[in-house]
Amino acid sequence: MSKTYTVALMCGGDSAEREVSLMSAACVENALISAGHKVSKIDTVNKRYFEELEKLQPDVAFIALHGKGGEDGSLQAILEHMGIPYTGSGVLGSALAMDKHRSKIIYEALGLKTPHSLCFKREHRDTATASAEQVLKSIDLPVVVKPCEDGSSFGISIVKEEAALSTALECAFAYGSAILVERYVSGKEITISVLGNTELSMLPAIEIVPKGEFYDFESKYSQEGSQHIIPARITEKALAEANQAALLAHEGLNCYGVSRTDMIVDDKDVVWVIETNTVPGMTGTSLLPHAAEYKGISNKELYELLIVLALERKQREKKEQEAYAV
């Protein structure tokens, strides 16, 4: 990239993923400044952050804001209203991918395999016992209990015994108004990132081997919390199916710029789609930068590519609007 830009680095916020966002932002800031860009961090914990954006008049907003308020389409809607190009998916794609229940409906419509699940709304919170009974009638243990709209493994539990189910439901409800209970699938956990707007490219599949029982917060962000194996130790058949699933998820959820889809490959080589992230972590231990690095793409090149894709999408949308106006 020969041109330099004024970049509003959107980060922080007040979600459970605030600290992760600040770690991602620090990595992005260092890389972009080293490339000569003017970077201003804007912490959306200040609810009048749009005033900072108006004063800055950035060429582009780089979204390093994970979780609610940054990954769910709300920030994207504000940036759309202000006419500021931004990295990643738009309002619709962000909202759909963030909602694990609705994204699973789309996976199924696309013909992708995803574990059977039940969704419970907040009104079930005071009847955890009744909810637990409903789960046990529909899904065999073990199950995974998690918030529908949160990331970084907050509020997630793997439940193997009936006695632990009600507590797991309460724990997940602490992080949102809706929770998902899905059948636990054992196998190799992999993730595949997709880059691009209309012309899409794949980054190599990463196999994740967590230090603990599953890929929880500590596994994701501590230096020795997990092992990332590239390329993933799966068959060519499973890899082809996983690559196709990542592409279909990216397109079906209306993603742009970048997405990262997490999957499980079971012992029968079946690929199960778990979720898609539209603002993947960009910390020193995050998966997206590791996959890019394996392919020879430095952090600086990766983050600049996301900016290019953001500007490209804005320019294309502008041309489409002008064409409609004629």
152 carries an active-site annotation: yes
Q: Could you say which of 29, 72, 149, 275 is catalytic?
A: 275
Q: Is 281 a catalytic residue?
A: yes
List Cα–Cα distances, 29 to 14, 33, 42, 146, in angstroms: 20, 6, 11, 31
Identify residue 122 by its one-letter amino acid code. R
To the nearest 10 degrees (0 to 180), the angle between helices 236-252 and 100-109 is: 110
Tell me, yes or no, if 221 is annotated catalytic: yes
Reduce the DSSP state of residue 95 to 3 states and report it: helix
221, 241, 257, 259: which one is catalytic? 221
Q: Provide the b/e sequence for 196-225 (b: ≥16 CB within 10 Å).
A: bbeeeebbbbbbbebeeeebbbebbbeeeb
- Per the residue annotation, which of 12, 17, 43, 67 is the catalytic one? 17
| Residue in the block written with tokens 């009048």 | 48
* Catalytic annotation present for 320: no
Q: Which of 143, 171, 144, 177 is CA-nearest to residue 155?
A: 171
**Residue among 260, 286, 304, 313 flagged as catalytic:** 260
Q: Is 17 a catalytic residue?
A: yes
Element (H, E) at 146: strand 143-147
- Find the catalytic residue in 15, 152, 157, 259: 152
β-sheet with 6-11: strand ranges across: 38-43, 6-11, 60-63
Annotated active-site residue in 18, 262, 286, 299: 262
Q: Which two three-digit tokens encode residue 210?
A: 């967590």
Q: Which of 317, 279, 325 is nearest to 85 (CA)?
A: 317
Question: Catalytic residue among 13, 86, 281, 286, which?
Answer: 281
Q: Which of 15, 219, 226, 277 is catalytic?
A: 277
Q: Which residues form the catalytic set?
A: 17, 152, 221, 260, 262, 275, 277, 281
